[in-house]
């Protein structure tokens, strides 16, 4: 793991590349990204950020630094005022709301800090939710993968209780399984280990590391977890909405 600013232009390990070349590799290329609130104040200002297709990156920094805002913007949930966000050859900053939603459904697995589960559904039904809209063969694969992930994270897939009765840590495991069940090309996670015990958190870290190394997926995580940070390829530190080299 190494710490860096977002542009990281001086690093010999990942030199600055033209947007076209980096995008062609299937990774992330951000340029001149700015997000403003209603008052006009800039809450996120990222001049350049490149993440390779098979890279595990942690967004770190103090509370209020803009980490979650950046993660949501990379997912297309927050619309930037200016700038480009290329995932491969798709600039999601130019897409309308429906097209961004379709992009997320097809390519992104997202773990939200507040889980966003359907309280009346079971753990497995929540984790396999995307199967409800897929073709039968694909749906069966998603449901099988969801069950495997829940089991790996320590949940009983035969438990039909609604998730509203589960603990916070159990609900977080369900949210993680849902994000990974479709084998997404991109995984974006906001504090995914925050509510987990150490054993479950370590299992999740192993899973994230494997999907980068074995599946060549892109993983971007907001986290304060030292173990997760140590497992990442790179740490991008933010302060006041801007990347910086100083430790948080």
In whole angstroms, give the CA distance from residue 192 to residue 228: 10
49 pLDDT above the threshold of 80: yes
Find tokens 């299992």 and name the residue.
203
Residue found under tokens 């977002």: 6
Q: Determine contact, residues 232/1, Cβ cutoff 8 Å.
A: yes
**Number of separate helices (H) and strands (E) present in the chain:** 8, 11
The 10s digit of each residue's pLDDT in 175-188 is: 999 999 999 999 99
Secondary structure (3-state) at 60: strand
Dump pLDDT digits (tens) for 88-146: 999 999 999 999 999 999 999 999 999 999 999 999 999 999 887 776 778 899 999 99
The domains located in the chain, with CATH, are 2-243 (3.40.50.300)
Q: From CA 70, how far away is CA 80, in angstroms rounded?
A: 10
> pTM for this one?
0.86
Parallel/antiparallel/unpaired status of strands 234-239 and 218-222: unpaired
């Amino acid at each position: 793991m190494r710490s860096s600013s977002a542009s990281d232009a001086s690093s010999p390990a990942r030199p600055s590349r033209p947007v076209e070349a980096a995008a062609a590799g299937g990774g992330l290329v951000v340029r001149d990204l700015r997000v403003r609130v209603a008052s006009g104040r800039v809450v996120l200002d990222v001049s350049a950020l490149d993440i390779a297709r098979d890279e595990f990156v942690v967004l770190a920094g103090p509370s209020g630094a803009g980490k979650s805002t950046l993660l949501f913007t990379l997912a297309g949930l927050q619309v930037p005022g200016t700038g480009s966000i290329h995932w491969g050859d798709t600039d999601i900053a130019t897409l309308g709301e429906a097209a961004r939603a379709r992009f997320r459904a097809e390519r992104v697995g997202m773990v939200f800090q507040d889980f966003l589960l359907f309280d009346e559904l079971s753990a497995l039904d929540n984790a396999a939710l995307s199967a409800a809209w897929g073709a039968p063969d694909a749906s069966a694969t998603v449901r099988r993968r969801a069950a495997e992930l829940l089991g790996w994270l320590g949940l009983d897939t035969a438990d039909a209780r609604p998730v509203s009765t589960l603990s916070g840590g159990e609900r977080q495991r369900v949210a993680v399984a849902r994000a990974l069940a479709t084998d997404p090309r991109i995984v974006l996670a906001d504090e995914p280990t925050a509510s987990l015990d150490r054993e479950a958190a370590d299992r999740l870290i192993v899973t994230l590391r494997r999907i980068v190394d074995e599946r060549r997926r892109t993983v971007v995580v907001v986290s304060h977890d030292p173990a997760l940070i140590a497992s990442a390829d790179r740490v991008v530190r933010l302060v006041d909405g801007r990347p910086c080299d100083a430790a948080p």
